[in-house]
Chain A
Amino acid sequence: MSDEHGPTPVSERTDAMAADRPLVRVRNLQKHFDREDSILDRLLGDTTNPVRAVDGVSFDIREGETLGLVGESGCGKSTTGETLLRLLDPTGGKVEYDGEDLAEHEDLFSFRRRAGVVFQDPFSSLDPRMTVGASIRQPLDIHDWPWPHSDVDTSRPKGELRRERVADLMERVGLSADQLDRYPNEFSGGQRQRVGIARALALDPEFLVLDEPTSALDVSVQAQVLNLLEDLQDDFDLTYLFISHDLSVIRHICDRVAVMYLGEIVEVAPTEELFANPQHPYTEALLESVPRASTDERDRDIEPLTGDVPSPRNPPSGCRFRTRCPKVIPPADLELTQPQYRAVMDVRRRIENRDVSLDGLDSSGGDAVETLFDRLLEGVDLPASERPHLREAFEALVEGDFEAAAETLRERYASVCERRHPDGERAACHLDADDVRLDADGNGVWVGEELDAPVTDTDS
């Protein structure tokens, strides 16, 4: 990767690099956070599952491109960025940087010169007791810049060269070099973020992870910083991993986009394609949910996703999005519309979670079953063919036998989405599978072979 005196200059790197080899290759990267269970917890059997923050993500970042990583809070996008840079140790999978596996490096010192990071919060990522000049200079001191290869007159004193470089970096990110002796509290949010960027650029890296770099900023200032990042990319041949929850920003700045949901990547595509023609139902819902700043916005019909994101300690089996997905794939022989099927599946999930109140049910008669129909499926008009199955389940429920009720419904209504983990070239969704027949609305029906019992992720 580099000799002990520093990285090879950019020009040589590019020539040596195979044109189609990605700069960063992430394969099946995993980061689980385990709570330290005390002995008491273990004795009491009060152990918890680890939080599966990043659970097997794979993607490539090509040289010179900006890959966007987008998702909602808690989806694991920031953890992916930090694990990729080895700021956190992965619990599985590997990251190859420029063809070399980072896990095989004994120390990451030389890698740190080549890959930098800009954090979200410019208020907490700078040391308040250091002048911004000292903050920007710190990496230069630690890495003993300038190196023999560096593009400067190395016969001059290092201190002087570093001071010049700091001033140069400040100017480069749009600050004035006379502000170098000021403290972070004298700067506005946008200016502090510029300081953070200057610091990340100090060692002339080729790759930057930008973790929500503009999320703490107002739109007018955000636009300044986005423009700056674009200019820097052109000037320094930088490759970016741009992490953000803001789809408009992602669309503006990225070449390709990966969408994350609950620790997994659900879709990767070139930006224009992803926005024009989202393949995964989650991507579609995400795009639809963003309110547009235009006067047509009021008349735009949106179908918001229902429910909340499940816990990453105990993610759903199969496709993780299936609990909120508006296009869950039913088995072949059902005569249910998508909303009806969803209603039944919601009932089933509640029964499986023991989340149905049996208070006030008369356990002797058929009335109790009717009461359950009213309570659980209020306003859902089910076809007669499905009522017996639900009736059977509700009868078990009236007896208090949640397990039998759940089993009855599982047998009849199990979806491919819960039994198999989706895979796909572009979108991890079963709608793309050969065994799924699509109707005119884009809803699918499973026509493949009978499915086995669910493969739960938590078993592995």
Chain B
Amino acid sequence: MAPKLEVEGLTTRFFTEEGQINAVEDVSFSVEEGEVFGIVGESGSGKSVTALSLIDLVERPGEIVDGAVWFRSPDLAARIEDDTPEAVDGDYVDLQSLSEGERRALRGTEFSTIFQDPMSSFNPSLTVGEQIAEAVEVQRRARANPRSVRSRTQGYGLAKFIGDSLLPTRDFVDDASHDRAVELLEMVGIPDPVERAAEYPHQFSGGMLQRAMIAQALAGEPSVLVADEPTTALDVTIQAQVLDLLAELQEDTGMTTVLITHNLGVIARMADRVGVMYAGEVVERGTLEDVFDEPAHPYTQGLLGSSPDLDGAADRLDPIPGNVPSLVDREMDDRCYFADRCPKAMGECLEKPPEFAVDGEHTAMCYLADHDYEEADALEEGYFDE
């Protein structure tokens, strides 16, 4: 099967006053149609920026400086081939080279997102129903005319203000969209959807609101869902409900999902294939079994070893020493970024390792994936200390 998404050399940087931050560094992975691809990493590993980069939602001072996100969509490829041939390769289009209008038309209809914090993702002054209906409306219009997509909150200027004041009843959202919003709420398991649609976000509990956000994300029947820490703000019993819901919807709609989380348990429950991120790089990727049962990168091994186990406690945890590096460009040498915390760092780790194949599609950015550890070549202890 051809992959739905092919990410090639994606590089995102933030240009801040403190200097250039290399948040995402030359990241490549592919996502098969209908699968859940999990990206796991600790805070500051660049996993969320990777998600935002996929759908080009990176905001200033951040910028995607390199790379391509190839998205398989034969229809779109055929339609824009004449206008922007550089963005098309067979059935694939490169999201980075699309025109801004085309790219915006894809958001919601083809790509949708769920964020971590449902409380801050909804507008507190509009009812939940209105906000979902608006998403439905935008998607409907986008399908009808991909080049003119505007939501009510977009480009709100003086002219619009005068227009709205003169014609206060001018309704952006059509009744059919409202009905669809109620249907969506029902689909995500919200009881009494008609009544709940008329309520405001603060009247919802966190779990309910997360369901509502999923409903909104599904409004345009997207083919790719990017879920960034979708259950991190929730309690475990509610998390279990939401994960169940996501798995069910995934099965019903066959959408392709990119799931970003720091929680190894969530990855194990949901993902088919996994990418492990560290310091802006995907250091290991493969199927769930590859990565969890036969981790090749010492960071992945350390991550798995340092999580306390619920089903049988180890006497002592095996932490990774040290801290996650800062991603400020001038402080980063061109080496394996994990070498300073790695129990098996060797001389050659001072040069950045390429991605080695471990076994089939299982790859790791580590020399140990290529050859065995040579004690003679080990870096002396304290090599990286100031």
Contacts of B292 in A (CB 8 A): 293-295
Q: Which residues of B contact A295 (CB under 8 A)?
A: 268, 288-289, 292-293
Q: B258-285, CB under 8 A of A: which get 1 and which 0?
A: 0000111111111000000000000000
Q: Which residues of B contact A (CB under 8 A)?
A: 42-43, 192, 194-195, 205, 207-208, 235-241, 243-244, 262-270, 288-289, 292-293, 302-304, 306-311, 313-314, 316-321, 323-324
Give per-residue flags for A289-329: 1 if the beta carbon is below 8 A from chain B beta carbons, else 0. 11111110110001011101100000000000000000000
- Tell me if B306 and A219 are in contact (CB < 8 A): yes
Q: Are A286 and B319 in contact (CB under 8 A)?
A: no
The answer on a CB contact under 8 Å between B267 and A293 is yes
Query: Given A252-B313, A295-B268, are A219 and B307 also a contact pair (CB < 8 Å)?
Result: yes
Decide if B42 touches A220 in the complex (CB within 8 Å).
Answer: yes
The distance in angstroms between the C-alpha atoms of A224 and B293, with both chains bound, is: 23
Beta-carbon contact of A226 and B308 below 8 Å? yes
> Could you jot down 6 A-B contacts, CB within 8 Å?
A286-B236, A291-B239, A291-B240, A293-B268, A295-B268, A304-B240
Apart from A252-B317, A297-B265: 6 A-B pairs, beta carbons within 8 A: A72-B236, A247-B236, A251-B308, A290-B236, A298-B270, A304-B241
A226-B308, A286-B236, A308-B238 known; A293-B265 Cβ under 8 A: yes
Nearest-neighbor residue (CB-CB) of A287 within chain B: B310
Given known contacts A72-B235, A275-B310, A218 and B241 CB-to-CB distance under 8 angstroms? no
Roughly how many angstroms separate A294 CA and B271 CA in the complex, as a whole number?
A: 11
Question: Are B244 and A220 in contact, CB atoms less than 8 angstroms apart?
Answer: no
Query: A305 contacts which of B237, B311, B316, B323 (Cβ < 8 Å)?
Result: B237
Q: Give 1 or 0 for each of A46-58: 1 = CB within 8 Å of chain B CB.
A: 0000000000000
Instruction: Please judge, given known A-B contacts A219-B42, A245-B235, A304-B241, whether A291 and B265 are in contact too, CB under 8 Å.
Output: yes
Contact A220 B236 (CB under 8 A): no
Cβ of B310 and Cβ of A218 under 8 Å apart? Answer: no
| Given A227-B317, A291-B269, A355-B192: A218 in contact with B262 (beta carbons within 8 A) | yes
Assembled-state Cα–Cα distance A428/B240 (Å): 24
Interface pair A291/B235, CB less than 8 Å apart: no
Look across to chain B and name the residue whose beta carbon is closest to the beta carbon of A214.
Answer: B308
Q: Kindly state the separation between the CA atoms of A363 and B91 in the bound complex, as whole angstroms.
A: 59
Interface residues of A in 345-363 (CB under 8 A from B): 355, 357
Complex: A73 Cα to B239 Cα, angstroms: 12
Contact of B303 among A219, A253, A304 (CB under 8 A): A219
The 6 closest A-B pairs by CB, nearest first: A291-B265, A223-B319, A293-B264, A223-B306, A252-B308, A218-B42
Residues of A within 8 A of B270 (CB): 298
- Interface residues of A, count at CB 8 A: 45
Q: Does A248 contact B (CB under 8 A)?
A: yes
CA distance A222 to B269 in the complex (A): 22
Q: Cα distance A294–B309 when bound, in Å? A: 10
Which residue on A lies nearest to B302, using beta carbons?
A220
Determine if A332 is an interface residue (Cβ-Cβ < 8 Å).
Answer: no
B320 contact from A188, A220, A245, A291, Cβ within 8 A? A220
> Once bound together, how far apart are the Cα atoms of A224 and B239, in whole Å?
26
Q: Counting CB contacts under 8 A, is A443 at the interface? A: no
Nearest-CB distance from A240 to chain B (Å)?
16
Distance, CA A188 to CA B262, complexed state (A): 18
Binary CB contact string for chain A from 261 to 297 against chain B (1 if under 8 A, 0 otherwise): 0000000000100010000000001111111111101
* Nearest CB in chain A to that of B292: its residue: A295
Cβ of A68 under 8 Å from chain B: no
Instruction: State A308–B238 Cα separation when bound (angstroms).
Output: 8
Contact A218 B236 (CB under 8 A): no
Task: List chain B residues, Cβ under 8 A from A275.
Answer: 310-311
Question: Is A221's beta carbon under 8 Å from chain B?
Answer: yes
What's the nearest-Cβ distance from chain A to residue B149, in Å? 35
- Chain A residues with CB under 8 A of B207: 308
A456 part of interface (Cβ distance < 8 Å)? no
The reply to whether B306 and A220 contact each other, CB–CB distance below 8 Å, is yes
Question: Complex formed: what's the CA distance from A348 to B311 in Å?
Answer: 38
List residues of chain B with CB within 8 A of the CB of A288. 240
Chain A hits for B268, CB < 8 A:
291-295, 297-298
Task: Decide: A220 and B240 in contact? CB cutoff 8 A.
Answer: no
A24 at the binding interface (Cβ < 8 Å): no
Return the chain B residue nearest A302 by Cβ. Answer: B240
Nearest CB of A to B284, in Å: 15
A224-B195 contact in complex given A289-B240, A294-B268, A304-B237, C-beta closer than 8 Å: no
Q: Considering the chains assembled together, what is the distance between the CA atoms of A220 and B338 in angstroms?
A: 13
A289 and B240 CA atoms in complex are apart in Å by 5
CB nearest neighbor in A for B207: A308
CA distance A280 to B292 in the complex (A): 32
For A305, the chain B residues whose CB sits under 8 A away are 237, 240-241
| A190 sits at the interface (CB 8 A) | yes
CA A251 to CA B313, docked complex, whole Å: 7
Q: Is the CB of B289 within 8 A of A191?
A: no
A355 CB to closest chain B CB (Å) equals: 7
Residue of A whose beta carbon sits closest to that of B204: A308
A249 at the binding interface (Cβ < 8 Å): yes
A293 to chain B: which residues have CB within 8 Å?
264-265, 267-268, 292, 304, 307, 309
Inter-chain CA distance A297–B310, complex, in Å, is 12
Tell me, in angstroms, the Cα distance from A301 to B231 when the chains sit together. 19
Q: Contacts A219-B42, A290-B265, A357-B194: A285 and B323 contacting too (C-beta < 8 A)? A: no
User: Nearest residue in B to A190 (C-beta to C-beta)?
Assistant: B323
| Nearest opposing residue in chain B for A298, CB measure | B269
List the B side residues contacting A73 at CB < 8 Å.
235
Find the A residue at minimum CB distance from B41. Answer: A218
For B237, give its contact among A72, A218, A223, A294 (CB under 8 Å): A72
Q: How far is the CB of A57 from chain B (nearest CB, A)?
A: 19
User: Which B residues lie within 8 Å of A302 (CB)?
Assistant: 240, 244
Question: Are the CB atoms of B319 and A221 closer together than 8 Å?
Answer: yes
CB distance from A76 to the nearest CB of B (A): 14
Q: Are A248 and B307 CB-contacts (below 8 A) given A293-B267, A297-B268?
A: yes
Q: Give chain A residues whose Cβ lies under 8 Å from the Cβ of B236.
A: 72, 245, 247, 286, 289-290
Whether the pair B237, A224 counts as a contact (CB closer than 8 A) is no
**Which residues of chain B come closer than 8 Å to A230, judged between CB atoms?**
316
Give Cα A224–Cα B319 distance, bound, in whole angstroms: 5
The answer on a CB contact under 8 Å between A226 and B317 is yes
Residue of B nearest to A221 (CB): B323
| Chain B residues in 8 Å Cβ range of A304 | 237, 240-241, 244
Residue of A nearest to B319 (CB): A223
Which residue among B241, B265, B310, B321 has the maximum number of chain A CB atoms within 10 Å of its CB?
Answer: B310
Task: Judge whether B318 and A223 touch: CB under 8 Å.
Answer: yes
> Interface code A67-93, partner B: CB below 8 Å = 1, 0 otherwise?
000001100000000000000000000
> Beyond A227-B316, A308-B205, A355-B192, is A248–B306 a contact (Cβ under 8 Å)?
no
Residues of B within 8 A of A286 (CB): 236-237
The CA-CA distance from A301 to B289 in the complex, in Å, is 19
What residue of chain B has the Cβ atom nearest to residue A246's Cβ?
A: B308
Please tell me if the beta carbons of A248 and B43 are within 8 angstroms of each other in the complex: no
| Complex alpha-carbon distance, A292 and B205, angstroms | 25
